[in-house]
Amino acid sequence: MTEQLSLWQAEIQSCQSLRDLDEIRVRLLGKSGEITALLKTLGALPPEERKEKGAEINHLKTVVAETIDSRRYQIEESELAERLIKEKIDVTLSVTPEAVGSIHPISQVFNEIISYFSNFGFEIATGPEIEDEEHNFSALNMPDHHPARQSHDTFYMMPDEAGIRKLLRTHTSTVQIRTMRRQQPPLRILAPGRVYRCDYDATHTPMFHQMEGLVVDKGINFGHLKATVIDFCKHFFERDDLIIRFRPSFFPFTEPSAEMDIGCDRSSGGIKFGQGNDWLEVFGCGMVHPNVLKNCGIDPEEYQGFAFGFGVDRFAMLKYGIPDLRAMFEADARWLSHYGFSPFGGK
């Protein structure tokens, strides 16, 4: 058997690919392999001879398996080294025209919105995407029985050792709470980021991007809110003739609350703003509820505030004619080359 083992070891060492090595492993150690067949012959041997022969075959099996593992490691290391050489990139080289990337429409819209509001003193605020129920619901005046707290709408995690149940934030309003508890007014912030909800169709995805604004100061009223969001929409959609209306609505964290619609025309199958008899809802907004201010340690008798929020992905769809929200997250380079933006300005 020593001579046979040497032959097998030489054969294993001569393998140049993992595929060849795996074929030898199956031929020798598989269910119908040569070494497996030797083990099956032990039953016909006398007890003393069976014990001695069995130890010899098991030793043979162990040595072959170790030789295969050793050769596998050598081949993997060699293949990795070869890949590193082939895929090496000289980052000091100039970018070639065909290698120029594109800015994703969502990133483009983020930049446009942040650039606009930064001109009016809004600061960017961020917070964790994994939140607790206090910041995501309770501090925002949402009762325990609110539908948004149910698992069919929110992604929950298992409770930790302290019994606290974490979740993926459903809105960036959590950033407003954290900011108000950390800083005293006056406040003027913009909270962009990813949020998560159990939904998936042409206009909804489980993960999407949201932008929320918050202003808290003395003497703030609904007129300030209306002027802010109206001027922004006219600037973003590049139409001074936008027809805008506000409808009374209800959100637990604002009072009064409203939804803002833009007049449009859908008769041609698309959406044209500034004309027609149709309406498109684009904003949720309102005056910050006194309970929310109290939950953050702010006196609602002295300070008032307004907040607004909207989906960044949806705004990108509306402005740049993107029909399906899901395509934004499918990593299709062809889609990005069509809808993407040049990093040097212009589309």
Instruction: Indicate whether 119 pLDDT > 90.
Output: yes
**Predicted pLDDT of residue 96:** 63
pLDDT tens, residue by residue, 13-42: 999 998 999 998 898 888 888 888 888 888
pLDDT band, very low/low/confident/very high, at 271 (cuts 50, 70, 90): confident
Mean pLDDT value across residues 44-52:
81
Reported in sequence order, the residue ranges of the chain that DSSP labels E, i.e. its strands, are 123-124, 130-132, 166-168, 187-196, 207-217, 244-251, 254-265, 272-273, 278-288, 304-311
Whole-structure pTM value = 0.66
DSSP letter, residue 289: P
pLDDT tens, residue by residue, 154-190: 888 888 887 788 999 999 999 999 999 999 999 999 9
Mean pLDDT value across residues 50-79:
88
**Predicted pLDDT of residue 188:** 96
pLDDT tens, residue by residue, 49-64: 888 888 888 888 898 8
**Predicted pLDDT of residue 325:** 81
pLDDT tens, residue by residue, 84-112: 888 887 778 776 656 567 889 999 999 99
Q: What is the DSSP string of 105-153?
A: HHHHHHHHHHHHHHTTTPEE----SEEEHHHHTGGGT--TT-GGGSTTT
Written as one letter, the residue type at 49 is E
